[in-house]
Chain A
């Protein structure tokens, strides 16, 4: 059964079948034509002899110069009938057909004449006998037949030869067809080989695309790009898991070291309190990290639900700014806001989180006595929110990576509240709203984040 499931063998089978039908058709037609030609030649021979016999039986008035006693009109009922010798030769010769004739009177059922080689009397009815019997207007029956048809034998030989040639052509055709099919199918094999290796876990496998223009070549190219994306996604996932584990290691180290030190010997209540406080800080850091990770994981899985409600974005941003203002003032920073009324559909809680995050970053990375400018406007059907600080700026090396998870410009964990996921979450949230977030920065001048949301 397996062999019939293979495309190659199915193609071969159909191809072979069609080849057999075509060859057989041609063979039969050729034989038929040959047979008809032979038969018409044979009929002409028979007709020729019939005419000879008839003209001997009822000679037409011969041309004047030949009118003689040599061919006198014969009364067949009374006399012996004799063919002229050259007509006789048509029957008695060594001709392999063995032509013969019989003439009899149908009314009296009496044989009138027959060639010397006539085998039987009465109407011949043998297998290999060809010929015809005709009633002459004068009442005689004339039968001209032959008892051997070598053409039929030749035809048989020709048929065998044709069949032999057909088999040779069939074998050759199948061989060529098989080669063509396996050549055509080879890319499928390399595709399936690569796919097998990939499903076994080797994501770096690619299909070797030799001919990119054919249908299979295009398919292979599409599959290759799919594999590449798959590999990138896996690598990203792996990196993310490793980063997450990495971020959790430090707080776990704190807890381990703190508790092991504390338990080494008896301590005063004050020392235990300090240890517990340090452990609490570490645990809270892990908690923040875990909820941020979960949030991102849900965005990744497309499960994070973003409410789509009509929303006064101006009010939302205004509330954020007013909430953050005391913190900015505490840091000696000036918070300047400029709003024009904008309404969008979106999730107010999540957008609040985004704006707060950007504002907290602007405070954290600002210069002393710097400023933060928040601007909200509506342009071309988009709500555009910019948060600009006058801080240290982001180096052009770090700039393309700021939205990446756990990416930190200064390679440190300064500020335990910084999970390294804030901007990644901002980006995921904005994108879930169908918007974009961009950053522009100049070192020692400041950084500007721009969010565009469809209104």
Chain B
């Protein structure tokens, strides 16, 4: 899952990015409205955390531009907590709204919720034959036995499970599993796929030669 954070307070931006990375997300950051808007246009993020008050271009404008082309889920981050502000936020196309100061656990839960909804899922549990994925606890069970995965391996499984039945290209995987600062070594992805197959069964991820991977 790749997430963009647009926030002008540097300390907040840094710690949010760190916290989300530790949650297993690939995180991009933008310190002002212009850069934020540029990045939302350039990549297909799984979710965007968007501050309202930003220099150069405020959160509402970014949202307005984004909604012309994309359905990316957006979590608005704001210091205004009056009802009319919330209504304005939700009406302008934001998927959810969180008021500063917030608890990180709540932010994580809201992010999971908007990502889940954007993938048309209603619960945090995804079951694929013997494999059960708990996206809230970030655990994977095979025949009810927990399996240890690295954060990157888990992210790979989760992304593919959410796009079950679709062919996911290597480019798509790169875009959603690695952030802008990571050098994308092409064989790194193959290593992760082979590790997941070892842990969850060789048939779990099917290779479509010339296209990409698929969970059926």
Complex CA–CA separation, A260 to B101 (angstroms):
12
B177 within 8 A of A: no
CB–CB A278/B101 < 8 A: no
User: Which of B19, B58, B82, B101 lies at the interface centre, i.e. has the most chain A CB atoms within 10 A of its CB?
Assistant: B101
State whether the Cβ of A414 lies closer than 8 Å to any Cβ in chain B: yes
Interface string of A402-432 (1 = CB under 8 A from B): 0000000011111010000000000000000
Q: Which residues of B contact A410 (CB under 8 A)?
A: 55-56
> Is the C-beta of B100 less than 8 angstroms from some C-beta in chain A?
yes
Q: Are A253 and B19 within 8 A (Cβ)?
A: no
B12–A250 contact, CB under 8 A? Answer: yes
Rounded to whole angstroms, the CA-CA distance of A256 and B105 in the bound complex is 11
Complex formed: what's the CA distance from A417 to B82 in Å? 26
Residues in B whose Cβ lies below 8 Å from that of A252: 100-101
Q: Does A264 count as interface, using CB distance less than 8 angstroms?
A: yes
Question: How many of chain B's residues touch chain A, expressed as a range?
Answer: 20 to 34
Across the A-B interface, how many residue pairs have beta carbons closer than 8 Å?
75
| Binary per-residue interface labels of chain B (38-74) against chain A in the complex, 1 for a CB within 8 Å, 0 otherwise | 0000000000000001111010000000000000000
* Contact residue among B18, B53, B103 (Cβ-Cβ distance under 8 Å from A413): B53
Q: Tell me whether A256 and B55 are in contact in the complex, defined as CB-CB below 8 angstroms, given that A246-B80, A413-B9 are known contacts.
A: no
Contact with A along B1-30 (1 / 0, CB 8 A): 000000011011011101100100000000
A416 and B10 alpha carbons, distance in the complex (Å) = 9
**CB neighbours of B103 from chain A (8 A):** 256, 260
In the assembly, what is the distance between CA of A257 and CA of B10, in Å? 12
Most A-side CB within 10 Å, residue of B11, B19, B80: B11
Q: Could you tell me if A412 and B15 are in contact, using CB atoms closer than 8 angstroms?
A: no
Partner of B55, one of A242, A264, A275, A411: A411
Whether, in the assembled complex, B151 has its beta carbon less than 8 Å from a beta carbon of chain A, the answer is no
Known contacts: A249-B100, A411-B54, A411-B55. The answer to whether A264 contacts B22 by CB under 8 A is yes
A188 close to B (CB within 8 Å): no
Task: Say which size band chain A's interface belongs to.
Answer: 20 to 34
Q: Which chain B residues lie closer than 8 Å to A411 at the CB level?
A: 53-55, 58
Q: Are A261 and B101 in contact, CB atoms less than 8 angstroms apart? A: no
Report if A275-B15 is in contact (Cβ < 8 Å); known contacts: A246-B79, A256-B101, A260-B104: yes
Q: Whole-angstrom distance between the alpha carbons of A365 and B160 in the complex?
A: 50
For the complex, is A79 an interface residue (Cβ under 8 Å from B)? no
Residues of B within 8 A of A249 (CB): 79, 99-101
A residues in contact with B9, CB < 8 Å: 250, 253-254, 413, 416
Given A253-B100, A256-B103, residue A414 in contact with residue B8 (CB < 8 A): yes
B residues less than 8 Å from A253 (CB atoms) = 9, 12, 79, 100-102
Tell me what chain A mostly uses at the interface: helix, strand, loop, or mixed: helix
Asked if A281 CB lies within 8 Å of chain B CBs, one says yes
1/0 per position for B96-116, CB-CB distance to A under 8 A?
Answer: 000111111100000000000
Question: Could you say which residues of chain B place their CB within 8 Å of the CB of A414?
Answer: 8, 55
A263–chain B nearest beta-carbon distance, Å: 10
Q: Flag whether A265 is at the interface (Cβ < 8 A).
A: yes
Q: How far is the CA of A281 from the CA of B14 in the complex (A)?
A: 14
Chain B nearest CB, measured from A275 CB (Å): 7
* A372-420 with Cβ < 8 A to chain B: 410-414, 416
CA separation between A163 and B68, bound complex, in Å? 92
Which B residues between 145 and 172 are near A, CB-CB below 8 angstroms? Answer: none
From A274, which residue of chain B is reached at the shortest CB distance?
B14
Asked whether, in the complex, the Cβ of B11 is within 8 Å of the Cβ of A278, the reply is yes
A265, B22: Cβ atoms closer than 8 Å: yes
A358: Cβ under 8 A from any B Cβ: no
Nearest neighbor of B21 in chain A, beta-carbon distance: A261
Q: What 0/1 readout, one digit per residue, does chain A (250-283) give for beta carbons within 8 Å of chain B?
A: 1011111110110011000000000100100110
Cβ of B19 and Cβ of A412 under 8 Å apart?
no
A253-B100, A256-B104, A410-B56 known; A264 and B12 CB under 8 Å? Answer: no
Instruction: Say whether B22 contacts A261, CB under 8 Å.
Output: yes
Return the contact of B11 from the options A242, A246, A260, A281 (Cβ within 8 A): A281
For the complex formed, measure the closest distance between the CB of A5 and the CB atoms of chain B, giving whole angstroms. Answer: 45
Minimum CB–CB distance from A80 to chain B (whole Å) comes to 124
Measured CB to CB, the nearest residue on chain B to A277 is B11
Residues of chain A having any CB pair with chain B under 8 Å: 242, 246-247, 249-250, 252-258, 260-261, 264-265, 275, 278, 281-282, 410-414, 416
Question: Can you list the 5 inter-chain pairs with the closest CB atoms, starting with the nearest?
Answer: A412-B55, A278-B11, A249-B79, A252-B101, A249-B100
User: Besides the contacts A246-B80, A264-B19, A410-B55, what 9 more A-B pairs have beta carbons closer than 8 Å?
Assistant: A252-B101, A256-B102, A260-B105, A264-B104, A265-B22, A282-B11, A412-B55, A412-B58, A416-B9
17 A-B pairs with C-beta separation under 8 A: A246-B79, A250-B9, A253-B9, A253-B79, A253-B101, A254-B9, A256-B101, A256-B103, A257-B19, A257-B104, A260-B19, A264-B19, A275-B15, A278-B11, A278-B15, A412-B55, A413-B8
